[in-house]
Amino acid sequence: MADDTQFETIEYETPETGVARIMLDRPEVANAQNKQLLYELNAAFDVAVGDDAIKVIILGARGKHFSSGHDLRDPALMGDFDRVGPVAGFAKPGAEGMMAREEEIYLGLCTRWRALPKPTIAQVQGKVIAGGLMLVWPCDLVVASEDAMFSDPVVAFGVNGVEYFAHAFELGPRRAKELLFTGEAMGATEAKEIGMVNRVVPRDQLESETLALAVKIASRPSIGLKLAKMSVNQSVDAMGFPVALQSAFGLQQVGHAHNQWVHGMVVDPAGAETIRNDARR
């Protein structure tokens, strides 16, 4: 049963009573996230949140891989889309414009999705690279297929990690440093052992198992689900989560400024080949 809302880079459907499912739909580029996809995803989340019949939201992806991260070849301009957050100056030169753009479409959208007043479940398969983590981590629960692999190799670009820097909270400090320093991927089994993933299932059961979990959650009262989610999020916030995110985001802008000075672009160009080689392994 599909919703009437039309999207080009995602699909929105309601497979069971009380459940909305949003599917990334750019499999030809391993669901790389261009601006259109991010803004359409945000709009789809708004559709689900605004529908009182929906209690749980699943975020999945078509194709072999969940997401290969940011689409660095995206030609779209920020002015092509309606602004979501209280951010301005996208077209300003230098670090000011760069920071504004990333604050809007990366840190800002992820922070917004984490705070949605309904439970969200990431349904994850294949590779989840860099910006792919930024779609998974704001979700409340994660169900992964046995072949799922998680990585953030962008230290090779001369920056500290992806813009939604939840690494220490999701992985623990030492595992976070290893993942960032080496660029190596983490498998689904380890991700479950350290608490980043809730359930690991065979690839052919990923959709059915995730949906069954969503249906079970949807049987609970919406007010209870909302308050439970808020309580857990606020507990993490009390540990300094929002301040940590903002601090790391500021450091990433230092990395961009350094790279612009040294390499003439906001990332170290040698990193692209390093990351491509790592992704092929």
Interatomic CA distance for residues 97 and 94, integer angstroms: 6
Residue corresponding to tokens 């753009």: 101
Q: Is position 55 within any domain?
A: yes
Q: Is position 176 within any domain?
A: yes
DSSP percent split of the chain into helix, strand, coil, nearest 5: 50, 15, 35
Predicted structure pTM score: 0.95
* CATH code for the domain of 201: 3.90.226.10
* Residue 191 DSSP one-character state: H
Distances (CA, A) of 154 to 77, 131, 149, 213, 267: 23, 10, 16, 33, 9
Q: Contact 70/102 with Cβ under 8 angstroms?
A: no
pLDDT at 279 over 70: no
Query: What pLDDT does 172 receive?
Result: 97
Residue 135's contacts (CB-CB under 8 Å, 6 or more residues apart) are: 24, 33, 41, 59, 66, 67, 110, 122
Interatomic CA distance for residues 49 and 113, integer angstroms: 11
Distances (CA, A) of 234 to 79, 229, 231, 237, 247: 34, 8, 5, 5, 19
The proportion of the chain whose per-residue pLDDT surpasses 90, expressed as a percent, equals 94
Q: Is position 1 within any domain?
A: no
Q: Is position 5 within any domain?
A: no
pLDDT tens, position by position, 85-96: 999 999 999 999
Q: Is position 3 within any domain?
A: no
pLDDT band at 276 (very low <50, low <70, confident <90, very high): confident
- Enclosing domain of residue 98: 10-280
Phi/psi for 82 (5° steps) reads -80, 130
Query: What pLDDT does 277 receive?
Result: 73
Query: What pLDDT does 275 receive?
Result: 78
Q: Is position 234 within any domain?
A: yes
SS3 128: strand
Q: Is position 4 within any domain?
A: no
Q: How many domains does the chain have?
A: 1
The pLDDT of 137-150, averaged and rounded, is 98
Residues in the chain: 281
Report residue 245 as tokens: 């995110």
Long-range contacts: 101-105, Cβ < 8 Å, 24+? 102/163, 102/249, 102/252, 102/253, 103/249, 104/78, 105/35, 105/38, 105/39, 105/78
Interatomic CA distance for residues 238 and 233, integer angstroms: 9
